[in-house]
Amino acid sequence: MKIYYQWIPWSYSFAASKIAQTNIQMEWELVWLPNFANVWQSLKSWWIWVLPIENSYAWSIHQNFYWFLRNDFEIIWEIILEINHCLLSNESDIAQIKKVYSHPQALWQCYEYINSHDMISQEMWDTALSAKTVWETKEMWVGAIASRQAWEIYWLNILDENIQDQKWNSTRFLVVKNKTEKVS
Q: Is 173 a catalytic residue?
A: yes
* The one catalytic residue among 22, 68, 171, 180: 171
* Three-class SS state of 146: strand
Residue 88 sits at the vertex; the CA angle it makes with 16 and 10, to the nearest 5 degrees, is 20
Angstrom distance (rounded) from CA 13 to CA 127: 10
Q: Using H for helix, E for strand and C for coil, what is the string for 31-87?
A: EEECCHHHHHHCCCCCEEEEEEEEECCCEECHHHHHHHHHCCEEEEEEEEEECCCEE
Look up 171 and say whether it is catalytic.
yes
CA distance 63 to 37: 8
Four-point Cα dihedral 67, 170, 55, 180, nearest 10: 20
Active-site residue, from 65, 127, 173, 180: 173
Using an 8 Å Cβ cutoff, are 17 and 3 in contact? yes
Task: Provide the annotated active-site residues.
Answer: 171, 173
